[in-house]
Amino acid sequence: MTRHATEFVQPLTFEALSGNPVVVGMFDRPDYSKIEHISLARQADLLLVAPATANILAKFAHGIADDFLTTLYLSNTRPVLIAPAMNVEMWNHPATRANLEILRERGHYFVNPGVGYQACGEVGEGRLAEPEDIVHQALHLLQRKLETGPDLAGEHILITAGPTVEDLDPVRFITNRSSGKMGYALAEAARDRGARVTLISGPVRIAPPAGVETVSVRSTRQMYDAVMSRVGDSSVFIGCAAVADFRPASPAVQKIKKLGRQSITIELEATEDIIGSVARDPQRNSRIVVGFAAESQSLLDNAETKLREKSLDLIVANDITREGAGFDVDNNVATILRRDGSRIELPLQSKRDLAEKVLDEIVGTIKQGRTASVSAQVTDQ
């Protein structure tokens, strides 16, 4: 605990509840046979800081070591997981954003704060994440044996998420039920694994993930333009958005009137095939292109066809008829199809867990590609 934390809760409370000693000051428990911050750092598998204030983020970012926690941080060599909590304006302050950026670039992991009513009475982003989510993420990191470090460091991953919206007239539109949850989970997981992430998002109700460049779009054409202008320096493209395949050929400038008609016909035209354009880009080189397929019938056959026709490296086929999976829910169930015809069946799980599995597969594909190109170079010589 920091000294400030003890103003809120007594160390004795934590000692009694956890059955473990609480360290606050550098010199509280002098055991001259060992230097406590070094010995604690060497015992740890993970350094979890929760709640992390704007002040602690700033000290971590700039290497200030003026108390036990900040000294422990500097001597720690294990993965660091941070759960920030602060007032919404402090969270949004450019100084805090810059510090977050530094810590993310350093490869630290975050459990993002939630949005809601805050202790200060204001409403917004900055509430400490739910304890269950923090524990879940800590266990997840420990399970993934992150000793090897963030495995997507150096990659630039471009992800599309959410629905696209096609206007019929100034008040009506065609869209779908995508909430963006799957695509945002991918963006957060890729960011936490060290990638630079650009998220092109249709209209959703989720806050943009911190540390991810998020571009908001509405129509398929806007999503296409946003993707094509940024895909150039990306090494991985993931098309998770539920993109409209058709749009009204001539959207009405004025609100369409009923005028006593019992039916009307609206002509639709095909939209841009975003993922197909990314995959067919002559400058694609070694870029990995991953698609999603949301199917209500013949799941694997339809996904296989999309994999081949759109020249994808991988496709994640989700069965949207499964209860509790697919659109606008927190969980998903999927099969990942590879180009060589092999498949990985994944059971129903949280979208974050599924995102990690998809990224594991992408890491495997990157490694294979690099091994293949090294052996090709050796053969050339």
| Shortest spacing between CB 233 and ligand PMT, in angstroms | 19
Does the footprint of ligand PMT cover residue 247 (CB under 6 A)?
no
User: How would you classify residue 122: left for phi > 0, otherwise alpha for psi between -120 and 50, otherwise beta?
Assistant: beta
Round to whole Å and give the CA distance between 41 and 47.
Answer: 8
Q: Which is nearer to ligand PMT, 22 or 182 (CB)?
A: 182
Round to whole Å and give the CA distance between 220 and 158.
Answer: 16
Does the footprint of ligand PMT cover residue 178 (CB under 6 A)?
yes
| Shortest spacing between CB 151 and ligand PMT, in angstroms | 23
Q: Residue 361 in contact with residue 193, Cβ under 8 Å?
A: no
Number of residues interacting with ligand PMT: please give it, by CB under 6 A.
29
Does the footprint of ligand PMT cover residue 318 (CB under 6 A)?
yes
Structure-token match 């998809």, residue found: 358
Instruction: Kindly tell me the burial class for residue 145, based on how many C-beta atoms sit within 10 Å of its own C-beta (0-12, 13-18, 19 or more).
Output: exposed
- The full DSSP string for 35-74 is -HHHHHHHH-S-EEEEEEPHHHHHHHHHT---SHHHHHHH
The separation between CA 30 and the C-alpha centre of its own chain, rounded to angstroms, equals 43
| Shortest spacing between CB 334 and ligand PMT, in angstroms | 7
Q: Residue 306 in contact with residue 312, Cβ under 8 Å?
A: yes
Q: What is the dihedral of CA 213, 218, 221, 226, to 10 degrees?
A: -10
Which residues make beta-bridge pairs with 294?
318
Does the footprint of ligand PMT cover residue 209 (CB under 6 A)?
no
| Shortest spacing between CB 225 and ligand PMT, in angstroms | 13
Q: Which is nearer to ligand PMT, 169 or 295 (CB)?
A: 295
Among 128, 306, 307, 361, binds ligand PMT (CB under 6 A): 306
Contacts of 158 (CB under 8 A, 6+ apart): 197, 198, 200, 227, 230, 231, 234, 236, 237, 238
| Shortest spacing between CB 256 and ligand PMT, in angstroms | 24
Looking at 14-22, 108-116, 181-189, 260-268, which segment touches ligand PMT (CB under 6 A)?
181-189
Which amino acid, residue 18? S
Per CB under 6 A, which of residues 108..167 are in contact with ligand PMT?
160, 162
In the DSSP assignment, the letter for residue 196 is E
Per CB under 6 A, which of residues 33..62 are in contact with ligand PMT?
none
Site mask for ligand PMT (CB under 6 A), range 258-297, x = bound: -------------xxxxx---------------xxxx---
Does the footprint of ligand PMT cover residue 327 (CB under 6 A)?
yes
Q: Which is nearer to ligand PMT, 93 or 357 (CB)?
A: 357
Phi, psi dihedral angles at 192 (to 5 degrees): -70, -20
Q: Which is nearer to ligand PMT, 124 or 248 (CB)?
A: 248
Looking at 21-29, 93-101, 166-174, 322-330, which segment touches ligand PMT (CB under 6 A)?
322-330
Q: Which residues are catalytic?
A: 120
Q: Which is nearer to ligand PMT, 14 or 327 (CB)?
A: 327
Structure-token match 């606050």, residue found: 24
Among 108, 181, 191, 196, binds ligand PMT (CB under 6 A): 181
The first and second tokens of residue 182, run together, are: 């799957």
Instruction: Choose among 108, 59, 54: nearest CA to 84.
Output: 54
| Shortest spacing between CB 271 and ligand PMT, in angstroms | 5
Looking at 24-32, 53-61, 238-246, 363-371, which segment touches ligand PMT (CB under 6 A)?
238-246
Among 182, 215, 299, 366, binds ligand PMT (CB under 6 A): 182
| Shortest spacing between CB 187 and ligand PMT, in angstroms | 12
Q: Which is nearer to ligand PMT, 293 or 346 (CB)?
A: 293
Q: Residue 227 in contact with residue 158, Cβ under 8 Å?
A: yes
Instruction: Catalog residues that contact ligand PMT under the rule CB under 6 A.
Output: 160, 162, 178-183, 220, 239-243, 245, 271-275, 291-294, 306, 318, 326-328
